[in-house]
Amino acid sequence: MDCAVRRAIAETTAGIASGIAHGIAAAAGPLRLRIDFATPELAAAFARAFAGATPAAADPADDAGVWRITVASGSGGTPVPSLVPAERGGDMRLGAGAEAYVLWMGRHAPTLYAVDLERRQALYWVEDAAAIPAWERSRPFLPIIQVMLDATPWIAVHAAAIARDGGAVMLTGPGRAGKTTLSLAALKAGWRYSGDDYVLLRTDVPEVASLFATARLRDDMAARFPWIGAVLREVSQELGERRHELVLGGGQGGGGALGGAALKAVLLLDRRGAQAPQFGPATRTAVLSTLMANTLVATPGYEAARTAKVMRLLAMLRPRRFDPGADFAPALDALAGELA
């Protein structure tokens, strides 16, 4: 498998190397990324999603240690890579080896993720750029980036995080628990926003960092954030639910910026109807389950090693349950107390 992945990436990227439309430089924790887009349409879909991204140099002077991701599409003229199965609409196919990784999403989305770990090269290929799901545009290439992080103490996890005064709080919980709304309220109030869906977590020394500069706000919550019009990319509709797709940056809504900090608290959001913020005990098992359930589905492969990373982090901190109550301001005051 490793040789097949390496060959497919090399063949596909060689065919479009001279026609790259746009490139960005970004970071994923300790990793330096260069992401090249084969068409302007792909650049428009993805480039703004990355926190702190800048235009990539045409001929970088220091390319050592940089991970390269090439982004291409069949609709943009890139031929079908050899790793794509003949039956494209079948089940998901996964190959996770020591030196290479390949994931074909199949009927879930006609998308290929492939990584050559030895050469630090990756390929994202989608059949039709016009049909890229909103969730993919909000957190692009996540399976690829997760594989690149596997050799480091960092991992991308399904959680939100906010930071201020040198410390961060990570918020986990099931869907509709309030991770996005509380994170956006914190951003408005001057906190740093690390993410509402996926954040970077360092597991040897507790720390969180931003990966994406995006948020996905449910339609029924939009009225609580009148400032989002300035950062609204689109309104999406998936599985019967409307979401406001946001692209954030420093000072949005007169508030804070993007970024992370040393992780001081891990909280399991658990709304039980309290009017005022309430803390309570939470088991590490419950927190691990909420962190990893979506993470392992969105980034399949190497499940045991990735779960062990997060377990190591949770052993260093005592997670707690948090009901934020009815209003944002008291909830944020309570969270600030966790960082005092």
Q: Residues 294-318: pLDDT tens digits?
A: 999 999 999 999 999 999 999 999 9
* Same domain for 314 and 168: yes
Q: Please tell me the distance from the alpha carbon of residue 52 to that of residue 136, in angstroms, as a whole number.
A: 18
Q: What is the DSSP string of 127-149?
A: S-GGG--HHHHHSTTHHHHHHHH
Please tell me the predicted confidence (pLDDT) of residue 273.
Answer: 87
- Is the pLDDT at 281 greater than 60? The verdict is yes
Same structural domain, 148 and 239: no
Per cent of the chain over pLDDT 70 is 96
| Domain final residue pick, 152, 168, 195 | 152
User: Which percentage of the chain shows pLDDT scores above 90?
Assistant: 85
Angstrom distance (rounded) from CA 147 to CA 29? 13
Domain identity same for 148 and 238: no
For residue 238, the model assigns a pLDDT of 85
**pLDDT for the residue 39:** 95
Which residue in 145, 152, 150, 105 sits closest to 128, CA to CA? 105
**Residue 117, pLDDT above cutoff 80:** yes
**Listed residue (175, 155, 191) closest to 338, CA to CA:** 191
The Cβ of residue 230 has, within 10 Å, a number of other Cβ atoms equal to 10
Q: 244 CB contacts (<8 Å, ≥6 apart)?
A: 216, 217, 218, 219, 222, 228, 232, 235
pLDDT at residue 255 above 80?
no
Give me the helices (H) in the chain, please. Answer: 2-16, 40-46, 134-138, 142-149, 179-188, 284-298, 303-316, 328-339
CATH number at residue 263: 3.40.50
**pLDDT, tens digit, 9 for 90 and up, residues 232-253:** 999 999 888 999 999 997 545 5
Of the pLDDT bands very low, low, confident and very high (cuts 50, 70, 90), residue 155 is: very high
Q: pLDDT digits over 29-80, tens only?
A: 999 999 999 999 999 999 999 999 999 976 655 677 899 999 999 999 999 9
Rounded to a whole number of angstroms, the distance between the first and last alpha carbons of the chain is 51
172: phi then psi, degrees, rounded to nearest 5? -125, 165
Are 199 and 315 in a shared domain? Answer: yes
| Mean pLDDT on 166-183 | 94
Strand partners, 102: 95, 114
Q: Does residue 174 sit in the same domain as residue 202?
A: yes
8 A C-beta contact, residue 190 and residue 162: no
Same domain, 160 and 146: no
Specify the number of domains making up the chain.
2
Pair 79, 204 in one domain: no
Residue 40 and residue 84 in one domain:
yes
Residue 146, pLDDT above cutoff 80: yes
**Domain limit, last residue, from 95, 120, 152:** 152
Of 319, 289, 282, the C-alpha closest to 307 is 289
Is the pLDDT assigned to residue 92 strictly greater than 70? yes
Domain match, 276 and 307 both: yes
- Asked whether residue 281 falls in the same domain as residue 301, the answer is yes
pLDDT of residue 62: 60
Q: Which of 152, 176, 202 is the last residue of a domain?
A: 152
Q: Domain range holding 229?
A: 155-339
Average pLDDT over all residues of the chain:
93
Same-domain status, 105 and 193: no
CB 125 within 8 A of CB 12: yes
For residues 183-192, give the mean pLDDT.
96
Is 195 found in the same domain as 171?
Answer: yes
Task: Give the pLDDT confidence score for residue 59 in this predicted structure.
Answer: 60
